Homo-oligomer: A and B are copies of this chain.
């Protein structure tokens, strides 16, 4: 996570100020529950809320205390005591640092999820709009980078829409994975804290109570969370790669929007490079890589160790901030994408009818030629187009073995583009519901 690839909406979630505010709320909600249970005075709980809400936590002061105590939660509690006064002794009763840290981390991940879900919604909206705009823009479909058969640019974007809709569902599940609260005390036995405290805090924070925490929230949840971000990043890479390909000089079927004042290259003024999507490719590599340490974090020793902590202090912000930035950037790219239907048309016709080879193959077999023979007939004419710049239909019409099976009219009919787009409606209905 670096400023260049960050949006404040997401970095704010991870700021020290946000963190300490969440810590406070966890402690204060717990005090309410403890007060209801008669463990601490109700007035104390009220005072804690009142003074804590009124105060701004002094991040520098907390850091200063931490340098002495070498313990971040104790540092915060000490600072809170400076604000709250004597009633502060009722704070954190029966709790352990992990109750605060883990619940806070999950709150942050949930907030991050909500932002990422918003990002996905906007991306889906952009994809939907552009897909419908180009629903009937015919373009060549490519397998292996080689022309295959026609499709439409709208179908390309519909596929991306369907993919990111899956990503959204995965993101919702990932959010659910980490939306838990653990206030279970040392080793998670509730020996010193009533389980009802956890239930209360969980409810207030919109979380579920962690069924069995062992002082810490089990890290398989977070592994699943970060693995999901990695998959979403990989889908970003796919769409970014598509655009990079379409912008290649020889293809030029689409282009990232190029701002008037922008310079593509310091040395070569003629260039317009797909730098945003190349950047997204790199960012995807990063988000993906964070899945690995998250998975290694699962195997904590016994009830817990703290090896996961340094990893999460990094990948918590790194993964969510980078993915948020990437989704927003991708949305902008899609939104403003320059699309060149005339180039799509030009490319489509580059190999003089070859894209219709399958239809001819099928027609031959349906006319009674064996599959093997049909394949050979089509291939021998296709190779002339490929190698000698011939026109496919002309060659077929000149091939006696072909015309023995298919009339000129039948052959010509196989070169109709509409044949390939006749199910675009079906696909759009499946993807967009209408």
- Contacts A144-B305, A227-B228, A285-B293 known; 15 new A-B pairs at CB < 8 A: A2-B313, A69-B263, A70-B263, A96-B265, A96-B267, A155-B212, A166-B221, A191-B423, A211-B431, A224-B231, A269-B379, A282-B297, A282-B306, A288-B293, A291-B291
Asked if A47 lies at the interface with its beta carbon under 8 angstroms from chain B, I say: no
Report the Cα distance A167→B221, complex, angstroms: 9
State how many copies of this chain the complex holds.
4
Interface contact B145-A244, CB-CB below 8 Å: yes
Interface contact A186-B149, CB-CB below 8 Å: yes
A213 cross-chain contacts in B, Cβ below 8 A: 159
Partner of A195, one of B95, B143, B426: B426
A430 closest partner in B (C-beta): B211
Partner of A249, one of B146, B195, B262, B422: B146
Interface contact B188-A298, CB-CB below 8 Å: no
A301 cross-chain contacts in B, Cβ below 8 A: 142, 144-145, 241-242, 244-245
What is the interface residue range for chain A against chain B?
35 or more
List A300-327 residues whose CB lies under 8 Å from chain B: 300-311, 313-315, 318, 322
Interface contact B224-A170, CB-CB below 8 Å: yes
A386 cross-chain contacts in B, Cβ below 8 A: 270, 272
A421 cross-chain contacts in B, Cβ below 8 A: 189
Report the Cα distance A249→B423, complex, angstroms: 25
Asked if A278 lies at the interface with its beta carbon under 8 angstroms from chain B, I say: yes
Asked if A299 meets B248 with Cβ closer than 8 Å, knowing A173-B173, A186-B148, the reply is no
Produce 1/0 per residue, A241-254, CB < 8 A to B.
Answer: 11011011111000
Report the Cα distance A315→B289, complex, angstroms: 11
List A358-383 residues whose CB lies under 8 Å from chain B: 358-359, 361-362, 365-366, 370-372, 375, 378-379, 382-383
Report the Cα distance A72→B1, complex, angstroms: 19
Report the Cα distance A297→B5, complex, angstroms: 18
Partner of A278, one of B170, B271, B307, B426: B307
Q: Chain B's nearest CB lies how many Å from the CB of A262? A: 5
Give 6 nearest A-B pairs by CB, closest first: A141-B187, A282-B310, A270-B382, A144-B273, A234-B298, A285-B293
Interface contact B212-A159, CB-CB below 8 Å: yes
A296 cross-chain contacts in B, Cβ below 8 A: 234, 285, 288, 296
Q: What are 19 inter-chain pairs, A to B, with CB distance below 8 A?
A: A70-B261, A93-B362, A97-B267, A143-B265, A146-B247, A151-B188, A155-B214, A186-B358, A190-B426, A192-B362, A209-B430, A220-B234, A220-B238, A223-B230, A248-B250, A249-B351, A269-B378, A282-B307, A285-B292
A283 cross-chain contacts in B, Cβ below 8 A: 310
Q: Chain B's nearest CB lies how many Å from the CB of A403? A: 17
Interface contact A308-B282, CB-CB below 8 Å: yes
Q: Chain B's nearest CB lies how many Å from the CB of A368? A: 9
Interface contact B305-A167, CB-CB below 8 Å: no
A301 closest partner in B (C-beta): B145
Report the Cα distance A5→B311, complex, angstroms: 11
A365 cross-chain contacts in B, Cβ below 8 A: 89, 93
**Residue among A73, A379, A421 having the largest count of chain B Cβ atoms under 10 Å:** A379
A159 cross-chain contacts in B, Cβ below 8 A: 188, 212-214, 218
Q: Chain B's nearest CB lies how many Å from the CB of A395? A: 11
Interface contact B271-A141, CB-CB below 8 Å: no
Asked if A434 lies at the interface with its beta carbon under 8 angstroms from chain B, I say: no
Asked if A115 lies at the interface with its beta carbon under 8 angstroms from chain B, I say: no
Interface contact B303-A148, CB-CB below 8 Å: yes
Report the Cα distance A181→B154, complex, angstroms: 22
Asked if A77 lies at the interface with its beta carbon under 8 angstroms from chain B, I say: yes
Interface contact B285-A230, CB-CB below 8 Å: no
Produce 1/0 per residue, A319-361, CB < 8 A to B.
Answer: 0001000000000000000000000000100110011011101
